[in-house]
Structures are given as C-alpha cells and as structure tokens.
Amino acid sequence: MALISDLRTGIATNLATIAGLRTGATIPENPNPPFAIVAPSSMTYHMAMRNGMTTYNFVVTLVVGRADARSGQNALDAFCSSTGSSSIRGAVESDRTLGGKAFDCVVTQMRSYGSLAIGDTTYLAAEFDLTVQAD
C-alpha cells in the first residue's frame, strides 16, 4: 500500500524539476516565492477488488510574488500553461508513477487563480487538482 507521504514526496520531486520553484508540504514561515505546497485533499478506498487500488486526490497550491502585478501574473500564467519549462502539469506528469509508488498521476484542473494573503503580504496563487491511483 502506498503511503501518502511517499506520494506527496513523488509529486514534490516532479515539481522540483521546474527551475527556481521551491516545494514543500506546508506553508513556509518566511515565504520566498515562487513555491508550491503539496497537500492531500481526499481518498477513495476499495477502487478494485481486495483493496487493490485507492484514488488519492491532492492539491498543489502555487504561489508567486506580486511586487509587480504584471510580471507576477505572467509568471503565474507560465506555471498554469499545459506545456513549457514552467508548466505545473508538465512537471507533475513527467513521471506519472511518482518514482514507482503509483499506477498513475494526472493534473485534472487548475482553479482559484487570484490573490492570496499570507501574513501581511498578498501574493498571486493558483491551485491544481491532482488524481493519483495507487495501491
């Protein structure tokens, strides 16, 4: 059976292939964007006979700086693109087995594109929903 921490680590490892992107399981104390936070959101058990598969859903929250709204939005747009060197989808799906810990991993959607306040600072952010199939 796959451990959630192994799947989260596999997703973070794939995200780390994007140059300059920091990844983690929690919001950092002193954010230094761009960064992505990987968190589980739900699990569906018994997807195959004899507990053979579980569907894990994760949310990746991507945060970029907003010192200049135009450049921040351009950076966020590049991360939201379906292809390219900064694509969250492209990076996550670059190893869909997450280092051999999953049967498959896909980014199903991007949502919540907009402002995000952390402490006294407002950033730009987007959330990406991922579905992972594992035993």
* Residue 34, pLDDT score: 96
List the chain domain ranges.
Answer: 4-134
Q: What is the pLDDT of residues 58-74, one digit of tens each?
A: 999 999 998 787 888 99
User: What is the 3 state secondary structure string of 20-86?
Assistant: CCEEECCCCCCCCCCEEEEEEEEEECCCCHHHCCEEEEEEEEEEECCCCHHHHHHHHHHHHCCCCCC
How is domain 4-134 classified at the architecture level of CATH? 2-Layer Sandwich (3.30)
Q: What is the pLDDT of residues 92-135, one digit of tens each?
A: 999 999 999 999 999 999 999 999 998 888 999 999 999 999 98
pTM over 0.95: no
Question: Percentage of the chain surpassing pLDDT 90?
Answer: 76
